[in-house]
Amino acid sequence: MDNKELRTLKILEEIDKNQSINQRALAGNLNISLGLANSFIKRLAKKGYIKVSSIPKNRMIYLLTPTGAAEKTRLTYNYIKYSFKFYKETRSKMVSLFDKISKEGIKKVAFYGATEVAEIAYISLKDTSIEFEGIYDLKKVGTFMGKQICNTQDIRYSSFDRLIITDDEISKKEILNLDSDKCLHLNQISI
């Protein structure tokens, strides 16, 4: 599923939820520019997925057509298929990674980044003898899989053998006062 299809799905979902949504709100909800939202609305109307109608005070309403509902269903199905494929591939890579580091003598790991990838890694870790020490995140608070998300300042006091960086927006250099040999960035390892 490419970005264009994903944006189309999200716009159709937003319009299905709220017919009187304006383009500015739509752009904000989807984190896209107003011009891009306008372009998508025009394209979807031209394809017959939505109907654009005027209401008083220069307002527009967007109605999902039967063709649009069918397209939304098709895109939702494709998104689910794509997500499941991503999950299976990521889980397979995690199992291989944990098998590899277990053979290197790693007994305890922690994650940096409370992300969806971290959730898959955590589930995969449960099938090994490696112990989960904890999770650290600079931007998130709360719990992750029943464990408290720790502040990144606490990393230097922890006892893990490897820190697995599960947030693709973080580099090894951004981890506070930690020997880079203790870090494994999922983007930088081949399994």
The two three-digit tokens of residue 126, written as one number: 């449960």
Residue 140 resides in a domain: yes
Q: Please report the pLDDT score of residue 101 as a whole number.
A: 92
Residues 27 and 119 in one domain: no
Residues 92 and 59 in one domain: no
pLDDT digits 0-9 by tens, 116-153: 999 999 999 998 999 999 999 888 889 999 999 998 77
127-133, long-range: CB within 8 Å, 24+ apart, which pairs?
A: 127/95, 127/98, 128/98, 128/99, 128/102, 129/102, 130/98, 130/101, 130/102, 130/106, 131/107, 132/108, 133/108, 133/109, 133/158, 133/159, 133/160
Residues 93 and 146 in one domain: yes
Residue 77 resides in a domain: no
| Residue that terminates a domain, selected from 33, 64, 95 | 64
pLDDT digits 0-9 by tens, 84-116: 999 999 899 899 999 999 999 999 999 999 999
Residues 60 and 90 in one domain: no
Residues 181 and 90 in one domain: yes
Residues 117 and 182 in one domain: yes
Quote the CA–CA distance of 22 and 20 in Å, as a whole number. 6
Residue 99 resides in a domain: yes
Q: How many domains does the chain have?
A: 2
Q: Please report the pLDDT score of residue 190 as a whole number.
A: 53
Structural domain harbouring 132: 86-188
Residue 180 resides in a domain: yes
pTM of structure: 0.73
Residue 111's region, left for phi above 0, alpha for psi from -120 to 50, else beta, is beta
Question: Domain of 32: which CATH number?
Answer: 1.10.10.10
Residue 71 resides in a domain: no
